[in-house]
Chain A
Amino acid sequence: MAHTGTYSRCLQVWFSLVVVSVPLEQVEGVWPLPQQIHQSADRYSLSPQLFSFTYGKDSAAQAGCSVLDAAFKRYFSIIFPDFTKGAENGLHYLWPEPKPFVVSVSVKSRGCDGYPDEDSDESYNLSVSNGQAVLRSVTVWGSLRGLESFSQLVYQDDYGSYFLNKTEIVDFPRFAFRGLLLDTSRHYLPLHAILKNLDAMAYSKFNVFHWHIVDDPSFPYQSRTFPDLSNKGAFHPFTHIYTQSDVMRVIEHARMRGIRVVPEFDSPGHTQSWGKGQPDLLTPCYKGDVPSGSFGPVDPTVDTTYKFMERLLKEVKYVFPDSYVHLGGDEVSFACWQSNPNVRKFMEKMGFGKDFTKLESFYMESIMNMTAALNKTSIVWQDVFDYHERPRSKYVVEVWKQGCYLCEMRRVTKAGLKVILAAPFYLDLPIPTHSWARYYIVRPLAFRGTDEQKKLVIGGEVAMWGEYVDATNLTPRLWPRACAAAERLWSDEEKTLNADLAFPRLEEFRCQLLKRGIQAEPLFVGHCKHEYNGL
């Protein structure tokens, strides 16, 4: 292994020499690539003292718009990172007559205090010319995307002066759902790790934080209705939990960046930690005629289970504003159900025979109906669909199984259900090749199907499961590899199929992430002007 490895080290050396020797002159500096971007060599200098954001006269949103006011503040520091450090001195001499530059933002509909949702229009137009940039969008969420692109257009020359080139951008996302899953059950992620990743998500135009908040190993969500769930199910009842105010903070931090927060309360499997704080929720497993002392999935045969789930989902509806809730439904082991005589009796009564997938479907349908009654849309893992291909209700299917995921996409859309693709974006599986390109070359719509079917593919999702990941290594493992998926989900596939062309752009974007304080790991040999300063 070492032998072949270092052999490839040699090859890579040559490869890198080629890359390094090509001077990285203004490559198209926006990641993910906008739908249309035209840049010319005309460039304008920016002086931080004379730079400002303003609301356009015709804009529905004006000063006082919480989302945009905060975004202006944020992006000012991103665009001029040295400004607050007082390193601006020499510039006056270099630019005796600094010119003002105004970014004028116009929004059609106000909606500054709402939340982004599945129908949010994220499109924007950006026109940069001498002394001004005009950013137009339908919603404030579109303005956020445009501000991000704008910030990526600005660069510093060798003397530290800021410039940007004349640019026209017309942009909109290819998919409405561009998600990233973090798992806070297998390892607890401190709040600041989550917030940091929301920042990084915004830089790559991700718009859904799929919060896999609980699972077998721990239950860190502190429920108001059932405080025992985290008291007894978290790794630690005080230090390893998310309080209600923590959750609110995550949701607000996400909202400010146009990111939806979709919580996942996965059941009936993956619920070992629930059982600690909620007795009688899980199915007692049997060994012969006696309970073995261990527990299986949620017990789908007793009323108390459904009453509990209803109250929990009511709380979830109240706490999480998004219209989607992820109900899980994956990887249910039937062995425990099979061993339990009450479950077997119930199966008989319901006429399920020996088919436990029917029992799971029965359970999932019940909680999906509850969710629908709360005016929420359910997302479930593909297992639920696979068990019961002719759905009786509408739900969104998330495709996660490796193998022919496109076949599954075809089946799900054929059944008329919306689908999210996660299978090729499992970033927790580090592969020996360190390759980001395998996420980049995914083609989510490359299955045979009608246009109607393709429209049902609402997006994709990067998954970072937590078995081997916590605050020590989460960020570098996620970034910049997740950026590859971000471009796949936002940009025009025809313009972004070539990973070799994307490589220098992504390298530069990774350096930008470092400059913004995101601990993004290197793609290959090389350096950034501003290396990561943390540890």
Chain B
Amino acid sequence: MYCLLKFASLFLAVSVCHGWLFGDFVGKQKDLDEISLWPQPQKFQSSAVAFKLSPVRFQIVHAKESSAGPNCSLLENAFRRYFEYMFGDMKKHEKSRKKVFDSDLVELKVWVTSADPECDGYPSLQTDESYELSVDGPSAVLKAANVWGALRGLETFSQLVYEDDYGVNNINKTVISDFPRFAHRGILLDSSRHFLPLKVILANLEAMAMNKFNVFHWHIVDDQSFPYMSRTFPELSQKGAFHPFTHVYTPSDVKMVIEFARMRGIRVIPEFDTPGHTQSWGNGITNLLTPCFSGSKPSGTFGPVNPILNSSYEFMAQFFKEISAVFPDAYIHLGGDEVDFNCWKSNPDVGKFMEQQGFGTDYSKLESFYIQRLLDIVAATNKGYMVWQEVFDNGVKLKDDTVVEVWIGNKMEEELQNVTGAGFTTILSAPWYLDYISYGQDWQKYYKVEPLNFPGTDAQKKLVIGGEACLWGEYVDATNLTPRLWPRASAVAERLWSDKSVTDISNAYNRLVQHRCRMVKRGIPAEPLFVGHCRHEYKGL
């Protein structure tokens, strides 16, 4: 019972930019509407000349000149995956059309140009994800420096393919030159407040690749539960998980996530947040947390990690040694947010320690003391670290390559200015807390954010290396995570990948509607943006 919204009037704009449309092909222009690239490439030219792709004839192959070959399993897997996306529901009528026509596109050649294609490597912050794609019958060419760029190009190629009214796959003559605006394009999932079964994580890695996200920020543990199964300290998950067998990530689970992500050009950055947000750690490790006092007696409850005991640091050194070995990425997220000082204040030993150290009553100095030592421990493992903004705000001495994550919405611009002014790289998540929901099309709000919209020099702006969409887990688990995240996170994906000038909401709407239908077709239950339908509705449930 709502006022009639004139939804139909929104479907007008054509989703082509810099297009050279040939006048003779007026009848074909409708097909151009069906192309909906997401996120929008940096440079894109398309004509109305269409080629047909036959599921029997078409193939994705390594170019002769390519440094990658059939032994590059990462690309071989990607070829199969994208073939499935394009032809998945067509294999039924395989026999229907064997003859090759002039108008056919018979192959996509993938040409990796660097001497080392990085088939067995991991993507990193420095990875070059650019690619060039040229579609002109009878073959298309995808050129990239390494496999990571090739993966991005394959995604784009698959998005160029559209079904005509006869159910035949078509692709238009196209030239694309593409690269990401920001190097760090992340999604945060929280597997502590609710346990997320492995297949939910994997499905979201799939969806991330469809949106060219490249960082999975795994907020793996927190107050509520500790599902990470540690080899060094198995009691952490035995006593800290919701359930020691069914609600844990075993080492092989973690390996699988990392490998699944790698195959899609996605980095996995685990977050082990301390000294706050650690209630669940205390279940398995005695004496790790600060005992809180009620008057002169321990109250039986515990606060943040106890920063005055050497044993705390010994534990951290061993623990992070393991973490640095398990997770191949060069960065670990160390948290450091929202430390509640009340428990420290109540504890007489902590008070004594404060006095000894000359901290007065400034508990943020104690926090800094802890963080400083932790950072030194982690630095010794040869890893870089990411931290939440409080760590920077409290004046902790940080390594030069530290990434500071800005998450507090209030005075966000000022914070970006300060962090980059101090010379640190930063990523932005404050405007993209997707666990907050509201009625209507809130994707527009995420889409309209301009990350560099703060006062600062060009050098400062360059220090903003990206952003993250965060889906905190208080109200989210396997039942509702995927539709809540997609396609809302897609708005963030385009903001972080495409050129700054790509801001037209109604154009974005048209493309995003089709992009979400594409995700649905590929098995991702992405929720609708508004009234309407997809040719292939969601079949799960």
Name A residues whose Cβ lies closer than 8 Å to a Cβ of B: 1-3, 5-6, 9-10, 12-13, 16-17, 20, 186-188, 190, 192-193, 196, 216-218, 235-236, 239-240, 269-270, 272, 330-331, 333, 381, 400, 428-432, 434, 463, 465-473, 475-477, 514, 519-527, 529, 531-535
Contacts and interface: CB of A to CB of B under 8 A. Distances in A.
A377 B19 CA distance: 58
5 interchain residue pairs of minimum CB distance:
A476-B480, A473-B483, A472-B525, A527-B242, A235-B533
A525 B194 CA distance: 6
Given A522-B477, A535-B203, A190 B193 contact: no
B475 A400 contact: no
Contacts of B340: 10
Interface in B407-461: 407-410, 429-431, 433, 435-440
Contacts of B380: none
Contacts of A5: 433, 435-436
B274 interface: no
Contacts of A192: 541
Interface string B325-368: 00000000000011010000000000000000000000000000
Contact of B3 (A12, A272, A331, A525): A331
A470 B1 contact: no
Given A187-B532, A331-B1, A465-B2, A472 B436 contact: no
B438 A534 contact: no
A343 B438 CA distance: 41
B224 A525 contact: yes
13 contacts: A2-B429, A6-B337, A13-B223, A188-B533, A235-B532, A430-B438, A469-B527, A476-B480, A522-B480, A526-B242, A531-B247, A532-B477, A533-B478
Contacts of A270: 4
Contact of A187 (B193, B433, B437, B528): B528
Interface residues of B, number: 67
Contact of A476 (B203, B409, B483): B483
B474 interface: yes
Given A9-B472, A521-B480, A525-B473, A475 B537 contact: no
B227 to A, nearest CB: 10
Contacts of A190: 537-539, 541
B197 A531 contact: yes
A535 B200 CA distance: 6
B197 A533 contact: yes
A400 B1 CA distance: 8
Contacts of B541: 190, 192-193, 196, 471, 475, 519, 534
B36 interface: no
A218 B534 CA distance: 13
A478 B409 CA distance: 30
Contact of A535 (B199, B431, B484, B529): B199
A468 B440 contact: yes
B439 A521 contact: no
Contacts of B472: 9
> Among the interface residues A240, A333, A521, which one has the most CB atoms of the partner chain B within 10 A?
A521
Nearest to B4: A216
> Residue among A270, A472, A519, A521 with the most chain B CB within 10 A?
A472
Contact of B223 (A17, A235, A466): A17
Given A17-B223, A218-B533, A531 B195 contact: yes
Contacts of A12: 474
A392 B538 CA distance: 46
Contacts of A430: 437-439
Nearest to B200: A535
Q: Please classify the interface of chain A as helix (H, G, I), strand (E, B), loop, or mixed, using the class held by over half of its residues.
A: loop
A176 to B, nearest CB: 23
Contact of B484 (A471, A473, A519): A473
Contacts of A330: 1
A130 B430 CA distance: 59
Nearest to A510: B479
A518 to B, nearest CB: 9
Contacts of B408: 2-3, 6
A466 B2 CA distance: 11
Contacts of A529: 243, 246
B483 A187 contact: no
Contact of B474 (A187, A400, A472, A524): A524
A465 B1 contact: yes
A465 B540 CA distance: 21
Interface in B387-407: 407
Contact of A519 (B440, B479, B530): B479
B409 A1 contact: yes
B237 interface: no
A9 B475 CA distance: 11
A485 to B, nearest CB: 17
A100 B5 CA distance: 61
B347 to A, nearest CB: 18
A426 to B, nearest CB: 8
B533 A522 contact: no
B12 interface: no
B508 interface: no
A46 B194 CA distance: 32
A519 B538 CA distance: 15
Contacts of B431: 2
B279 interface: yes
A479 to B, nearest CB: 9
B514 interface: no
Task: Pick the most buried of A16, A468, A527: most chain B CB atoms within 10 A of its CB.
Answer: A527
B160 interface: no
Contacts of B203: 535
B526 interface: yes
A236 B479 contact: no
Question: Residue among A5, A239, A470 with the most chain B CB within 10 A?
Answer: A470
Contacts of B440: 468
A12 B224 CA distance: 11
Nearest to A218: B533
A16 B192 CA distance: 13
Given A468-B440, A522-B477, A10 B4 contact: no
A467 B530 contact: yes
A469 B529 CA distance: 9
Nearest to B5: A467
A472 to B, nearest CB: 4
B84 to A, nearest CB: 17
Nearest to B195: A527
Contacts of B430: 2
A532 B479 contact: yes
Nearest to B478: A532
B520 interface: yes
Given A2-B408, A472-B525, A525-B193, A534 B540 contact: yes
B438 A432 contact: yes
Contacts of A434: 437, 474-475
A159 to B, nearest CB: 15
Interface in B496-530: 520, 523, 525-530
B469 to A, nearest CB: 12
A446 B475 CA distance: 31
Task: Tell which of B200, B338, B473, B474 has the most Cβ of chain A within 10 Å.
Answer: B474
Nearest to A2: B409
A272 B6 CA distance: 11
B2 A467 contact: yes
A380 to B, nearest CB: 12
B528 A470 contact: yes
Contacts of B540: 471, 534-535
A320 B161 CA distance: 44
Contacts of A514: 479
A136 B88 CA distance: 54
Nearest to A383: B1
A514 B533 CA distance: 28
A331 B4 contact: yes
A345 to B, nearest CB: 25
A209 B157 CA distance: 45
Nearest to B301: A17
A174 B18 CA distance: 64
